[in-house]
Amino acid sequence: MADIDIRSVRKAYGKNQVVHGVDLSIRSGEFVVVLGPSGCGKSTLLRMIAGLEAITAGEIAIAGDVVNNLEPRERGCAMVFQNYALYPHMTVAENIGYGLKVAGLSKPERTARVETVAKSLGLSEYLDRKPGQLSGGQRQRVAMGRAMIREPKVFLFDEPLSNLDAKLRVQMRIEIRKLHNRLGTTSVFVTHDQVEAMTLADRVVVMNGGHIEQVGTPEEIYRNPASRFVAGFIGSPPMNLFDGRVTGPGEVQAHGIVLSVPHAGLKPGRPVTIGIRPEEVVLGAAGSNVASIDVDFSEELGSVRLLHGQVAGADFVIQVPATTAGPKIGRFSFEVPARAVHLFDAETGNRIGTAASGARAAA
């Protein structure tokens, strides 16, 4: 077990910079998920930790030692690859044990350890098979076994679940988290899937365009997105975002709809981006902050229903319980609770804090 310190790390291929100065501390035993769209630099960051990619500038330290110039095998990391990267000509047992063989362990010792690991992953029956004869989930387990057997200081996961079908993905997600709970090894997990990030992580790192947008627990990231990007990226269906401006103290306006908000110290006339989560509005007109939506399409998702339509000409989505009675298409009034309004600076995209949450977001 080890902590990882990433200090002002940059990566450039020639003139093309893909990671722009990333700072991140990962505590020993923590499960950190790096989340972002494709091309945001998250895999590159992971591969720099692994030693598969040279670091252009900055430092990475594992357990206090700077590893910039160490080879992958000297860093004590193990990695699970997106396509598993199992050696197709070796059996499951040989695949799992290959790292030990390279390290020069004797055959009986290897066999014993392979068997232990295989047993813990439910692979004992498959040890003599080749990867080609295994299902996706079994291959995934072999890849995990290969990482586990060396008892590494750090586990690195590069989108390991993206090649599995939906059902298996959920199952493996749970297995990975259980494994972590059992072993407690520091883990860095890269994905573009927000559900994976939310369910697996102790802390989520949201990356975009080579920068870290926000670091926080899944709840923090969902409740108080630090930027317009995070707000739009986290949550399904995504947050409704539209442009507006401040019209008075504690009041913003967009498309002729006036919303009162708890934010303090807003300058009138300041352009802002207003964000409202589809699941946080309340159908039916009551109180203030009322608007109406013209719903032209509704989507049943089983437990919930999504209403797609326009609010004063802008696209808007509302989520209501599937049990909601009444018509599904037409004009509805709804209320936006003041605490459910997120504000972002129109220019920088940064969150504008409320009196209550401001302190936390800054920390």
State the residues that interact with another protein by CB under 8 A.
47, 50-53, 71-73, 77-79, 81-89, 98-99, 102-103, 146
CB of 319 to another protein, least distance (A): 39
> 154 or 295, CB closer to another protein?
154
Which residues, 6 or more positions from 331, have their beta carbon under 8 angstroms from its beta carbon? Answer: 292, 293, 294, 295
CB of 156 to another protein, least distance (A): 9
> 3 or 53, CB closer to another protein?
53
CB of 103 to another protein, least distance (A): 6
Give the C-alpha distances (Å, rounded to integers) separating 95 from 114, 128, 187.
10, 10, 22
> 143 or 226, CB closer to another protein?
143
Number of other CB atoms surrounding residue 18 within 10 Å: 18
Helices (H), 79-227: 92-102, 107-120, 136-148, 166-183, 194-200, 218-223
Secondary structure (3-state) at 29: coil
CB of 14 to another protein, least distance (A): 11
Gap between the Cα atoms of 255 and 258, Å rounded: 8
> 51 or 275, CB closer to another protein?
51
> 130 or 328, CB closer to another protein?
130
CB of 92 to another protein, least distance (A): 14
> 140 or 319, CB closer to another protein?
140
CB of 225 to another protein, least distance (A): 32
Q: Which tokens belong to 298? A: 């509704």
Classify residue 165 by burial, with Cβ atoms within 10 Å: 0-12, 13-18, 19+: exposed
Buried b (16+ CB within 10 A) or exposed e, 97-136: bbbbeeeeeeeeebeebbbebbebbebeebbeebbeebee
> 44 or 227, CB closer to another protein?
44
CB of 173 to another protein, least distance (A): 21
Gap between the Cα atoms of 243 and 245, Å rounded: 7
Amino acid identity for residue 216 in this structure: G
